[in-house]
Each structure stands twice: as structure tokens, then as C-alpha cells.
A = this chain, B = another copy of it.
Amino acid sequence: MREKCAVLGIRSTQNVFDSIYYGLYSLQHRGQESAGLAVYNNNEIDVHKDMGLVSSVFENVFLEGKVGIGHVRYSTQGDTRIENSQPITIGYGGGSLAIAHNGHLVNGVELKEKLKKKGAVFTTDTDTEVIAHLIAQEHMKTGDFVNGVGKAMKKMRGSYSLTLLKDDRIIAVRDPNGFRPLVYGRNGNQEVVASESCALDSLGVPFVRDVKAGEILVLGDKIESIRKTRDKASVCMFEYVYFARADSVIDGISVYKVRKNLGENLYRAAPVKADLVTAVPDSGITAAIGYARASGIPYGESLIKNRYLGRTFIMPRQEERERGVRIKLNPIKSEIEGKRIILIDDSIVRGTTIKKLIDQLRNAGALEVHVRISCPPILNPCFYGIDMQTSDEFIARKFRVDEIRKEIGADSLVYNNIEDLVDAIGLPRERMCMACLNGEYPLEEEQKKLVS
């Protein structure tokens, strides 16, 4: 499971290149495929973007400008195209515009077809270009850019945290459901919007507040906040469970704390006697720490992760796939041998990796392996920006929990249930999107209720 992207926008009294560089670097966990930035300078927008990590894309590069936006994009095998990298810049009747987008439009294809029928021409496969068209259109209709953004929002259904660069202003936009995070910070020199608060921290810029669901926040000579939609926030629970960096705070909730709570709840849900609480690194570590605290069972590392898997690392050929897990994660025999182990991870998608890890633990002498999973079983696809393989591959769709346990070879297997998840996050249940767990997609009906 991979999320699509992070966005950033900075308006400063000085050149913003360095700040965008370091800011994007702190958001790199949200996308390693490509990186880019656009700055406004001398009435023009300059862009630099390329495939690769932030550190290599901007090697030997410098763009002048005091206002700019940035983007990182997730990594996939296969057909990744430089054309799809962001920010996207367009020229239209209202001038120039650069746009960076995190999320996914549910009605992107539909909007694109409508726009095409009216004569629109697209050069990329991205939702982002669709959004750019909508904004351009509405800007030209209304004659006011920010107004146009608001009108465009009413046509867009789905998730979008956007940073727009229009002349010397940054316009930050978060969809009415606030599926994806977006935060705002400021110090004496600069104003920053970013996908996660860890970017503010890395820049030494104090957090001010989250951009609100449905809000248009304009960073210009003065700051304006516009909300044209009724707030029907439904933030993605998986940001807390897995995607966001543990040091980020989303909508007032510490990601780290949520993960620790999830571990504690896992203990309370089904206590089991054991000698060691351990995690699948890095995704299960914080929950394991929480579990250990609640249970009093000591926390330890049992699997060491190789940290040097580069972009071009060649995984072993098909016939020897099991080697793959061994190369990435290696058990520590001395810590495992003769112990009853609780192994914690954030989620199970297809179950193939956890099965091999359990095997490794048993080979290293584990007496028992009890698996605990922070996230309730994932049953449904996400339409709001998370790239899950076809839901057909979800092991939880094919098997009941006890069958999964057998399949992966665990002595016991316990997931948090939805109540425990809600409790761990601490937001009201109705303010979260948990469609992948319970099938209740917030947009089908909610969208109609948007204030017009």
C-alpha cells in the first residue's frame, strides 16, 4: 500500500529554494518516485522536476524565487512517467498556474471526459491536470482566482490536498472531507503549508493550525481563509495507522500516540502470556511499544532491517523469492530462542510477508508466535488516494481470521476492531473515513450536502 504524494508551499521574505528542498526531504516518506518544485520569480513560474529522490533531483540545481510549491510522488514499479510528475504548470486565459496535489478524485475520469467533450486537451494521466483545468475554467468564468478555486471544488469529488502557486501567492486547499492532512505554520520570515507537521518542524517553523476540511487558505500579502463548503470532515484513519511520519500531528492528534494506543488496545483486547513483544520494522514498532507498556511484557527487536535497499537494488529472481524477505529482515536468534513472542504490525494485506517472518522466527527458535495487527481487517478498496492492489488480493476477503491465522502459521492472530481503532485515534467516529474497513464511503451521499 502506497499513498500518493505530499505537497508543500512556502512564501518567504527570502529565497525559498532551500526551504522547499529540506521540507520535501522531510516528506520523502510519502513519495520516492519523483520530486519537483515551482517558484514564482520575475512574473514567471520556473519549474524543476525529475524522477528520483529529493536529494538527487535537486543536485546542482537552484531556482530563484521567494514563493514556491513542491511535491514528492510515490514509487511504483512499471509505468512511471516523467510527464506525470508534479508540480504541473499551465498557461491559460487567466495567466500561469502551478499546482501540486495529494489525493485522488473519485470523479476524475468523469470530469476529464466532460472536459474533453467541451474541447479540453490533456497531456498527462493525472487528476492534477483535471483539477488545473477546472480551476482555469472557473477562474475565467468568475474573473477571480480564489473564487474560481471555490467553484472548482464543488465539481471535484474525492480527496485533494493542494498547493497552488498563482502569481506571488500560495493557495492551500483541503477537500471538504479533509481526507489527506494539510497543515499551516508561520514564523517571522516565512509562511508554510505542508502535508505533514514534520515538515514544519524540519524548517523550524512553528505549527499554527491544520488547514480545515473544505478550507481555501490564501497566503498572500495578507492571509485569507475561505470556506465555501460545510465541514464534513472524514480524515483517513490510515494516515494515523501507517502513512504519516510518527512525529507528525494531524488534526490535533499525535500520530505516535495513536499508534501507541493501538498497541495498548491490542493487548487489552486479547491478553496472552508471552516473553517478548516485538515488531515488524518499521511499521509495527510504535504499536509494539504501546503493547509492551500495557502488558508489562518486555519490548525488544527480533528482526533487523537492512537500511540500504536503494532504488536500483535487484531483488532475487522469481524462483527464490523467500530470499527477498531474508535480505530485508534478519532475525536475532539470541533474542528469539526459547521465547513466546508477540509480533506486531500495522496491517496485513496479502499475508505473504508476515507468513515468511513467522517462519523465520520459528526457525530462530521461537516457541510461540502471536500476531497482533493494529488495523482492523482491510476489506474494501480505497478511492481516496491510497494505492491498494485490487481488493481481490486482500487476504481478509478470502478468509476468516482463524483461517488467516492458519495460513500465516501464527499461534494466535488478533486485529484491533473498529471501536478500538476509533478509541485509539480519539476523533469522533463520524469524522473519520474507514471505508476500507467498513465500506461506508463518506462521499456517496455526503457530497450532495455541500453548501452551494
Q: A residues touching B (Cβ–Cβ < 8 Å)?
A: 18, 21-22, 25-26, 28-29, 32, 47, 53-56, 58-60, 81-83, 88-93, 112, 116-125, 129, 132-133, 136-137, 140, 198, 201-202, 204, 245-247, 249, 254, 256-257, 260, 282, 285-286, 289, 292-293, 298-301, 304, 306-314, 316, 323, 326-327, 330-335
Given A306-B26, A314-B21, also A120-B120 (CB < 8 A): yes
Choose from B112, B202, B282, B314 the contact partner of A327 (Cβ within 8 Å): B202
A332 touches B247 (CB 8 A): yes
Per DSSP, chain A at the interface is: mixed
Measured between alpha carbons, how far is A239 from B204 in the docked complex, in Å? Answer: 36
Measured between alpha carbons, how far is A302 from B201 in the docked complex, in Å? Answer: 14
**B-side contacts of A25, CB under 8 Å:** 306, 308-309, 313, 327
A299 touches B299 (CB 8 A): yes
A292 touches B301 (CB 8 A): no
A55 touches B313 (CB 8 A): yes
B256 touches A301 (CB 8 A): yes
Closest beta carbon of chain B to A83's beta carbon, Å: 8
**B-side contacts of A47, CB under 8 Å:** 81, 83
B202 touches A330 (CB 8 A): yes
Measured between alpha carbons, how far is A311 from B308 in the docked complex, in Å? Answer: 11
List 25 A-B pairs, Cβ < 8 Å: A26-B327, A54-B308, A54-B313, A55-B310, A55-B312, A55-B313, A59-B312, A82-B82, A90-B121, A90-B122, A90-B123, A92-B116, A93-B116, A119-B119, A198-B304, A246-B301, A247-B331, A249-B334, A254-B334, A257-B334, A260-B335, A282-B307, A286-B301, A292-B298, A307-B307
Choose from B92, B285, B313, B331 the contact partner of A121 (Cβ within 8 Å): B92
